[in-house]
Amino acid sequence: MVARNITSVREQLWVLAHDEDDGLRPRIDVRALGVGLLGATLVDLLLLKRIQIHDGRVYLYGTSALRDVNDPIASGVLYAIANGGGPPLAGVLRGSHAEGRDDTPNPYAGFYDRTLAGLIKAGVVVANRRRLRATRYALDDVRTAQWIRNHFSRRLWQREPDADPARDSLCALAWALGLHSTLLLPFSTGDADLILRDVIAQIPQRVGRRSVLTTVPHIAEGVRHAVGDLATAVF
CA distance 35 to 93: 6
**Residue ranges covered by each domain of the chain:** 9-229
Model pLDDT, residue 136? 86
Question: Which residues pair with residue 138 across a beta bridge?
Answer: 126
CA distance 80 to 107: 6
Looking at every residue in the chain, the average pLDDT score rounds to: 90
Question: Residue 101: is its pLDDT beyond 70?
Answer: no
What CATH number belongs to 9-229? 1.10.3630.10
Phi, psi of 73 (to 5 degrees): -70, -50
Tens of pLDDT, residues 128-183: 877 767 788 999 998 999 999 999 999 998 866 778 999 999 999 999 999 999 99
SS3 readout for 142-206: CHHHHHHHHHHHHHHHCCCCCCCHHHHHHHHHHHHHCHHHCCCCCCCHHHHHHHHHHHHHHHHHH
10 CB-side CA count, 13 A: 27
| Range 214-231 average pLDDT | 94
What is the bridge-based pairing of β-strands 25-26 and 18-19?
antiparallel
Q: How far is CA 185 from the centre of its chain?
A: 20
Query: 0.85 exceeded by the pTM?
Result: yes
Model pLDDT, residue 74? 92
Consecutive H or E run containing 139: strand 133-139
Model pLDDT, residue 234? 52
Question: Residue 100: is its pLDDT beyond 60?
Answer: no
| Range 178-199 average pLDDT | 93
| Range 209-230 average pLDDT | 95
Model pLDDT, residue 1? 46
- Bigger pLDDT: 131 or 69? 69
